[in-house]
Amino acid sequence: MPKTITEHNLRLLIDSLLKDRFRVVGPRLAGAMALYEPLAKGEELVLDQLPRRSAKEVFFPVCENILSFERTEAGLQVTDVDLSAMSETVLVGVRPCDAAAVPVLDEVFSWDYKDEFFLERRRKTTIIGMACTKSDDACFCSAVGLSPGETKGSDLFLTPLLGGGYGCQVLTDKGQQLLARYPKLFVDTVDARLAPLAGGTGDRLDLKRIKAWLDDNFESPLWNDIAERCAGCGACAFLCPACHCFDINDEGTTELGHRRKHWDACGFGKFTNHASGHNPRDLQNKRYRNRIMHKFKYYDDKFGQTLCTGCGRCIRHCPVGIDIAAILREIESRSQ
């Protein structure tokens, strides 16, 4: 019999987790928008808004210390970060487009050298995904092969029911453990009719054909046409659930300070600038090309996955109206 949970119990679940010393992160109001932030109580969980920033920051924070240093009488001392101190976390209310990006990011942070800052958080986090019942015209998850009911990346997946509450689908051991820990909050239901999921999330794009076009069109007038308007900010990359470029910088003084890893964006003019002044991507169209190439070709070449989950954030918030879904349609049509 399928397990279900009422909205009330979902909030109770958060309270119970907090009581049991878990860190619980979920959509929470920050002004008029929602952000994935630590919740202080179940009531804070926002259920009807796609958070402005994606859930990637739970694993890959905007900025984090990767070491500290201090010059002492005994010489320069470097202090490592205690990764074991990271909290056991439950990430709740994650939209499918955000949850699906997490296993995509696993690839880059775990191939060859292991980025334990990402991976330790990943190990310690249980993801409760939630199906989407509301979309807008920037959403295009279905176009990139996902859907409003996609369970990729979730340990436990909630689907809204017609009569309120959520059907629960256990996808991993982590999800099972969570369910087993609070058995009273989840109930068996005979009638678990699912609410209709969001529609209009885009007709399926032929990503293989798009990639084939990208393979052959590093040089194309298209890049100029679409990127001439690009203002060169990092809004698209920073809101994206899959963009993961970062910078490393020392802050403080030479006597005492921290080394920090923080988000960076390939759209920034200085991103690839050499100290000599030489810049391989000296124009905005080259930088925008890299963005599309990385998402739909390079990452696929390397890891067999697309670096885009169709969340639509970059479309909604591009200062100059660049629409990646429209660009993909254009590329698809050119690849006929």
Contacts with another protein in 6-35 (CB under 8 A)? Answer: 30-33, 35
* Dihedral (Cα; 261, 263, 268, 274), 10-degree rounding: 20
Site for another protein in 196-215 (CB under 8 A): none
CB of 285 closer than 8 Å to CB of 223:
yes
Q: Is 268 in the site for another protein (CB under 8 A)?
A: yes
In sequence order, the 6+-apart residues with CB closer than 8 A to the CB of 319 are 231, 233, 235
Please, which residue, 185 or 245, has the CB nearer to another protein?
245
Please, which residue, 71 or 208, has the CB nearer to another protein?
71
Strands (E), 131-281: 156-160, 166-170, 187-188, 246-252, 256-263
Among 176, 280, 333, 334, binds another protein (CB under 8 A): 280
Please, which residue, 16 or 273, has the CB nearer to another protein?
273
Please, which residue, 11 or 313, has the CB nearer to another protein?
313
DSSP letters for 165-233: SEEEEE-SHHHHHHHHHSGGGSEE-S--PBPPPP--S-PPP-HHHHHHHHHH-SS-HHHHHHHTT----
CB of 63 closer than 8 Å to CB of 263:
yes
Q: Is 260 in the site for another protein (CB under 8 A)?
A: yes
Q: Is 303 in the site for another protein (CB under 8 A)?
A: no
By CB under 8 A, which span of 11-19, 183-191, 195-203, 289-297 interacts with another protein? 289-297
Closest contact distance (angstroms) between CB of 109 and another protein is 6
In Å, how far from its chain's centre is CA 118?
12
Site for another protein in 75-104 (CB under 8 A): 75-76, 78, 80-81, 83
Site for another protein in 45-74 (CB under 8 A): 52-53, 62-63, 66-67, 69, 71
CB of 185 closer than 8 Å to CB of 7:
no
Please, which residue, 159 or 284, has the CB nearer to another protein?
284
CB of 159 closer than 8 Å to CB of 195:
yes
Among 259, 305, 332, 335, binds another protein (CB under 8 A): 259
Position of tokens 């080394």? 259
Site for another protein in 124-143 (CB under 8 A): 137-138
Please, which residue, 174 or 294, has the CB nearer to another protein?
294
